[in-house]
Amino acid sequence: MSRPADWALITGAGSGIGAALAQALSARGVGVVLVGRRADRLRAVQERLAADALVVPADIASAQDRALLLTAVEARLTTGGGKLRHLVHNAGIGPPSPDFAGTDPAELERAFALNVTAPLALTQAFLPALRRAAPARILMVGAGIADRAQPGTGIYGITKKALARLFEQMVTDFAHEAHTDLPAVALFQPGLVETEGLRDHVAAAQACDLPHAAWLDAALRDGQARNAAEVADAMTAILLELPSDDFNGQVLRPGR
């Protein structure tokens, strides 16, 4: 395989949207760093890729694993060449709760660590590499639930709302710092996408007897959800083709 000039780091690349994005970017010749906890799932994705890839099993909610991830990526870029041009904060969780009293604060902390703290800390860690690759792009995967409170969705909604605020903060801070080599940042709202993450969420919401479970289940049955490959193609076009002014600071969706 040829050595890619550009690399993308994708968190949550072992399944769903992240795995489809890895495939779509790889088909365009981008080297992909595949990150997630399940090594077997990452390797299965790697086997399907057209371009060079680096598998790094890591729990990105752990500061120790994030440090190991940084070391692995820096080592690969140093020995193999190429630049880290894209950072995609895709990994996310949002377990439903049966009711307010049953909303577990420990679960909220776990979701916050993955959905909010990890994108902040990974952006900080990879900022020098992204600046060396200027112009570089960061894409953060949000969720519509951030702005639509529904019963039992506090953990998912609160943390995705915080992620959206982190996106705004990064755009604001980078504009204030005014260094021309800082990355552009966008928030991507995928809408409903048929993935194992969504199916797991529906099953958990059904077990909690939550009203949105029936709606999601019906939407999946009626084919209203997009498939992950279609969403990944939209993300790839956003990362590789969208003019900078249409990317930086924008909330983007498939089909736009």
Task: Give contact residues for ligand NAP (rule: CB under 6 A).
Answer: 11-12, 14-18, 35-38, 41, 59-61, 90-94, 114, 141, 143, 190, 192-193, 195-198
Two tokens, residue 151: 């019963």
Helix, coil or strand: residue 153: coil
Burial 79-116 (b: 16+ CB within 10 A, else e): eeebbbbbbbbbbbbbbbbeeeeebeeebbebbbbbbb
Give whichever of 21 and 84 is closer to ligand NAP, judged by the CB atom.
21
What amino acid occupies position 237? A
Tell me whether residue 219 or residue 240 sits nearer to ligand NAP (CB atom).
219
Beta strands 193-194 and 137-141 are unpaired
- Measured from the CB atom, is 189 or 248 closer to ligand NAP? 189
Provide the minimum distance between the beta carbon of 219 and ligand NAP in the complex, in angstroms, as a whole number: 9
10 Å CB burial of residue 211 (0-12, 13-18, 19+) is exposed
Report the alpha-carbon distance of residue 49 to residue 161 in Å, rounded. 33
Q: Which is nearer to ligand NAP, 49 or 182 (CB)?
A: 49
Least separation in angstroms between residue 177's CB and ligand NAP is: 27
Closest distance to ligand NAP from the beta carbon of 17 (Å):
4
Minimum CB separation of residue 3 from ligand NAP in Å reads 26
CB nearer to ligand NAP: pick between 111 and 182:
111
Q: How far is the CB of 134 from ligand NAP (least distance, A)?
A: 26
